[in-house]
Chain A
């Protein structure tokens, strides 16, 4: 369970703290601030993905997440906007799903992760998609992530299945590996691009 904090240098790198407080928490068009929630079966690698993205590390012996854990990370997109991701990494065991609404409520982005070597986790991912379609924010951006892509010799969920399902649900799909860092940054950049921009900005 991550009692983890974001890197101070990176999370405070944005001057926008001021700007968001003045506009009552609504960020401007150049500096986005989004709440992102990670959902998915236990052991699919949610915590590893976040740690890879935020700290650039992979720890093969990550800690079990109890309840949820928070990290934040800011990235710059090509169009010179910055996006500060406020990431809630949730616990994967089924019963912790009872607490999930607490974390996905009001989230702008949901990243639903499964393990490509584990079909059960793909089922579970579909459950989460349904749950979010019902109870998540109306304009939530959803991404389906097949993790542990480095274990291709053990693959049990074809990439095609993931892709087809995601397309049907109008989601963004990507296969990643927290271990090799493959597609991890791309995942978050892609999400950043798909975020709805505040239509009329003051500036």
Chain B
């Protein structure tokens, strides 16, 4: 399990994600945003799974321990180890079982060691291998970094076990490897029984499937007897295979009886858990359970396959009928360095594992051999589980889930594309119309999606989440659902694209940044719940004939190709004899006739008559197509005609869409003219409005000016009023003075009167004295009486004259006052 190694190496390289896969530079930011979400999700699902598995463990504890015990004698070493751990796990009450990869540290060591010794007694009972005790005693602490070497050692130890020649050194290796393994499994000690339950449940399905395919299996096993012939060490393999299978199915019957009720009651619960994702640390084991590795596993089969290979390599003279064809070997060599390049776990040893795995599979299933894409699958599996388990998981995926997909003709893969296109037309007619219009075929994009099972197409978290569901379901439904979900998510954006290149680029990059893996999985599983295996099977039946026709055609061309290759290779090697070429030439003429070009139906000239004449010509030569072959040919021709008809219909549809588009454009043109017109009007109106505004502004200005003037006059008025008030005040003051003066005058007059009367009195007194003397005095008195008013008037005249004189003064004051007001006015204006 390379991944656990990886996480221990504190992988903090920025351009790689938590799984050690390279991130594209433009996505590093997005990934960072999502990594915290991933962490949260991971914690959540860890607890959920833990609860679930603990619950299941309790309910099936009894059954599983019983079954296990009976199996002990025949399971292989790894399983024995699990066994032991199982027992221990039951003993221990440590609940901290779920330790995420990154948390595995030396800190946990002591605790585990305690647990280990705790379980030791029981283990002694269970195991027949004395090595185990030794292991417990001298368990090396540095084992953690040894995961890499351990892979090699497993290999070594298993081989040495077989040959029963355990040197001391290999014994040691074995111990080491076991210790490492124990440690890893130990992490899951408590939950293991329930993972095992999942395994049992899934293996029921595997069994059924295997039985259904009995014929095929025996066919594919045809090459196995060679193990007897070639492999000296693995001579017992065939018998072993049957033996083991029988044994296991017996076990399974028991298992079924005991636990079937429980199994199905929690299947739904498990399904919802799987939709939420499998926890990182469980993924390897759970995937194996889903694929049914335990039920598939045949003891030493993998080692035997590898032994064949190495034997063949050693002695090249041997018959090469059962070795991996050179072309696969070459291709594998080309592809190994191009599988997750730079992944820290795929170092020299990792690549060796990868090579062994792929070569073993090519030997196991020659119908597939090696197909590009498998390198990625094998790589992922190696990151999650031990090499041999990875092999069996790969076998399960390739032989069951993707049966017929990666074979030489890739028939099922092509069928699935037609099926997917039909589903697309059904679900997203508008989008498909748009893509048709742009000239984009859905299969251009969905083809690589399906073939790679989204590896390298989606961000890693999403890939693994899709695989979780796909492996759980045991078929390819999830491929379709995921692809449909992607179309649902990104269809609206695609509708805005204007040419084929943009559409494809957009879809590729959007898919490549589908970091929200939960959204993707839920959209797929819930939104496209109705896409079921049953429905897919129906559609596959419907579309398969068309693919078979094309494949038939190509296989004819293939012969042509081999011919041309023969001719060409003559330039470099002179191996081909001319006789073969003649035959091929005749076939070529045949192939040319039969060659129906779907894309250019109008240029295709062959009709049935020509075909028939062609056939007779052929039979004249020597490559004798018999009657049956002719029937096949007619069928082929028929299908081709149907195909042509279909493509004609399609073209008609295309043209129709194009026409619609043209009409739309026409409308558009008209509309745009009208818009232009309207725009002009609007512009005019705007102009008018602007004019009006200008006028308004002018008016406003005038108004403002008037107002200002008003204000000035007002000011003037105010100051004038002030002047008036001041004048009035001055007048008032003068009047007061005048009154005072008059009062003084009156007083003076009074005094004058008094003085006169006193004078008169004095005079009278004097005259009275004089009368006494003479009477004429009284006459004199009268004349003085006349005289005094005249004097009085004189005084008055004086007073008036003063007043007149004073009158000139106020007018002067008035002048100076005026002047100051004027000053004020000036300052106001200023």
Write the nearest CB–CB distance from A33 to chain B, whole angstroms. 6
Q: Which residues of A contact B753 (CB under 8 A)?
A: none
With an 8 Å Cβ cutoff, the count of chain B residues facing the other chain is 69
A62 touches B341 (CB 8 A): yes
A78 adjacent to chain B (CB < 8 Å): no
B316 adjacent to chain A (CB < 8 Å): no
Chain A, 119-153, contact with B by CB distance < 8 Å: what is the 0/1 string?
A: 10011101100110011011000000000000000
From known contacts A63-B456, A64-B338, A67-B452, infer whether A17 and B499 are also in contact, taking CB-CB under 8 Å: yes
Write the nearest CB–CB distance from A5 to chain B, whole angstroms. 4
Q: Which 7 A-B pairs have the closest CB atoms?
A: A67-B448, A61-B341, A5-B509, A86-B501, A21-B498, A66-B452, A43-B334
Q: Which residues of A contact B568 (CB under 8 A)?
A: 122-123, 126
A79 adjacent to chain B (CB < 8 Å): no
Specify which of A12, A21, A64, A124 is in contact with B339 (CB 8 Å cutoff): A64
Bound-complex Cα distance A18 to B672 (A): 15
B371 touches A93 (CB 8 A): yes
* Stretch of A68-76, A173-181, A194-202 on the interface side: A68-76
Write the nearest CB–CB distance from A149 to chain B, whole angstroms. 19
Q: Which A residues from 90 to 110 make CB contacts under 8 A with B?
A: 91-96, 98-99, 101-103, 105-106
Chain B, 358-400, contact with A by CB distance < 8 Å: what is the 0/1 string?
A: 0000000000000111011000000000000000000000000
B505 touches A11 (CB 8 A): yes
B512 touches A64 (CB 8 A): no
B410 adjacent to chain A (CB < 8 Å): yes
With an 8 Å Cβ cutoff, the count of chain A residues facing the other chain is 61
Specify which of A95, A122, A131, A135 is in contact with B409 (CB 8 Å cutoff): A95
| Residue of A22, A91, A95, A134 with highest tally of chain B CB at under 10 A | A95
A6 adjacent to chain B (CB < 8 Å): yes
Write the nearest CB–CB distance from A135 to chain B, whole angstroms. 6
- CB closest residue in chain A, given B569: A123
A1 adjacent to chain B (CB < 8 Å): yes
14 A-B interface contacts by CB (under 8 A)? A6-B501, A20-B498, A21-B499, A61-B337, A63-B341, A64-B339, A67-B449, A70-B445, A93-B331, A93-B371, A99-B410, A102-B444, A127-B564, A137-B599
B561 adjacent to chain A (CB < 8 Å): yes
B665 adjacent to chain A (CB < 8 Å): yes
A35 adjacent to chain B (CB < 8 Å): yes
B177 adjacent to chain A (CB < 8 Å): no
Specify which of B439, B508, B569, B597 is in contact with A106 (CB 8 Å cutoff): B439
From known contacts A93-B372, A95-B409, infer whether A126 and B456 are also in contact, taking CB-CB under 8 Å: no
Q: Which residues of B contact A95 (CB under 8 A)?
A: 371, 406-410
Q: Which residues of A contact B437 (CB under 8 A)?
A: 25
A103 touches B444 (CB 8 A): yes
B775 adjacent to chain A (CB < 8 Å): no
Q: Which A residues from 15 to 39 make CB contacts under 8 A with B?
A: 17-18, 20-22, 24-25, 33, 35
A4 adjacent to chain B (CB < 8 Å): yes
Bound-complex Cα distance A35 to B619 (A): 42
From known contacts A3-B456, A22-B665, A61-B338, infer whether A66 and B451 are also in contact, taking CB-CB under 8 Å: yes
From known contacts A61-B341, A67-B448, A123-B569, infer whether A33 and B372 are also in contact, taking CB-CB under 8 Å: no
Bound-complex Cα distance A6 to B512 (A): 12
Q: Which residues of B contact A105 (CB under 8 A)?
A: 599
For the residues of B in contact with A, the DSSP-based class is helix
Q: Which residues of A contact B489 (CB under 8 A)?
A: none
- CB closest residue in chain B, given A74: B501
Specify which of B338, B413, B451 is in contact with A62 (CB 8 Å cutoff): B338
Chain B, 445-472, contact with A by CB distance < 8 Å: what is the 0/1 string?
A: 1011101100111100000000000000
Q: Which residues of B contact A59 (CB under 8 A)?
A: 341
5 extra A-B contacts, CB within 8 A, seeds A25-B439, A42-B331, A98-B410 = A62-B341, A103-B444, A106-B439, A126-B564, A126-B568
Q: Which residues of B contact A124 (CB under 8 A)?
A: 565
Write the nearest CB–CB distance from B355 to chain A, whole angstroms. 14
Q: Which residues of B contact A2 (CB under 8 A)?
A: 456
Specify which of A18, A21, A131 is in contact with B557 (CB 8 Å cutoff): A131
Q: Which residues of B contact A88 (CB under 8 A)?
A: 444
Q: Which residues of A contact B662 (CB under 8 A)?
A: 24
| Residue of B372, B498, B569 with highest tally of chain A CB at under 10 A | B372
Write the nearest CB–CB distance from A9 to chain B, whole angstroms. 12
- Give chain B's interface residues, CB within 8 Å of chain A: 327, 331, 334-335, 337-339, 341-342, 371-373, 375-376, 406-410, 413-414, 437-439, 441, 443-445, 447-449, 451-452, 455-458, 498-502, 504-505, 508-509, 511-512, 551, 554, 557, 560-561, 564-565, 568-569, 571-572, 592, 595, 597, 599-600, 603, 658, 661-662, 665
Bound-complex Cα distance A127 to B588 (A): 13
- CB closest residue in chain B, given A84: B501
Q: Which residues of A contact B339 (CB under 8 A)?
A: 63-64
In the complex, the number of residue pairs spanning A and B with C-beta atoms less than 8 Å apart equals: 164
Q: Which residues of A contact B560 (CB under 8 A)?
A: 130
Write the nearest CB–CB distance from A186 to chain B, whole angstroms. 22
B444 touches A70 (CB 8 A): yes
Specify which of B499, B504, B508 is in contact with A25 (CB 8 Å cutoff): B499
Bound-complex Cα distance A138 to B604 (A): 13
Q: Which residues of B contact A86 (CB under 8 A)?
A: 500-501, 504
- CB closest residue in chain A, given B449: A67
B443 touches A102 (CB 8 A): yes
- Give chain A's interface residues, CB within 8 Å of chain B: 1-6, 11-12, 17-18, 20-22, 24-25, 33, 35, 42-43, 59, 61-72, 84, 86, 88, 91-96, 98-99, 101-103, 105-106, 119, 122-124, 126-127, 130-131, 134-135, 137-138, 161
Bound-complex Cα distance A191 to B731 (A): 114
| Residue of B373, B441, B658 with highest tally of chain A CB at under 10 A | B373
Write the nearest CB–CB distance from A133 to chain B, whole angstroms. 11
Q: Which residues of B contact A70 (CB under 8 A)?
A: 444-445, 501, 504-505, 508
- CB closest residue in chain A, given B439: A25
B447 touches A68 (CB 8 A): yes
Bound-complex Cα distance A62 to B334 (A): 11
Bound-complex Cα distance A137 to B327 (A): 31
Write the nearest CB–CB distance from A170 to chain B, whole angstroms. 17
Q: Which residues of A contact B448 (CB under 8 A)?
A: 1, 3, 66-69
A65 touches B665 (CB 8 A): no
From known contacts A63-B456, A69-B448, A126-B568, infer whether A11 and B501 are also in contact, taking CB-CB under 8 Å: yes
A67 touches B414 (CB 8 A): no
Q: Which residues of A contact B449 (CB under 8 A)?
A: 67
Q: Which residues of A contact B445 (CB under 8 A)?
A: 70
Q: Which residues of B contact A91 (CB under 8 A)?
A: 372
Q: Which residues of A contact B595 (CB under 8 A)?
A: 134-135
B335 touches A123 (CB 8 A): no
A123 touches B452 (CB 8 A): no
Write the nearest CB–CB distance from A109 to chain B, whole angstroms. 14
Bound-complex Cα distance A96 to B406 (A): 9
- CB closest residue in chain B, given A23: B665
Bound-complex Cα distance A118 to B597 (A): 31
Specify which of B408, B456, B500 is in contact with A35 (CB 8 Å cutoff): B500
Write the nearest CB–CB distance from B556 to chain A, whole angstroms. 12
Bound-complex Cα distance A135 to B415 (A): 21
Q: Which residues of A contact B456 (CB under 8 A)?
A: 1-3, 63, 66
A24 touches B661 (CB 8 A): yes
Bound-complex Cα distance A119 to B372 (A): 21
Bound-complex Cα distance A173 to B337 (A): 30
- CB closest residue in chain B, given A6: B505
Write the nearest CB–CB distance from A123 to chain B, whole angstroms. 4
B444 touches A5 (CB 8 A): no
Bound-complex Cα distance A64 to B335 (A): 6
Bound-complex Cα distance A122 to B569 (A): 9
Bound-complex Cα distance A3 to B337 (A): 18
Write the nearest CB–CB distance from B159 to chain A, whole angstroms. 30
A135 touches B501 (CB 8 A): no
Bound-complex Cα distance A134 to B341 (A): 37
A119 touches B572 (CB 8 A): yes
Bound-complex Cα distance A59 to B406 (A): 28
Q: Which residues of A contact B341 (CB under 8 A)?
A: 59, 61-63
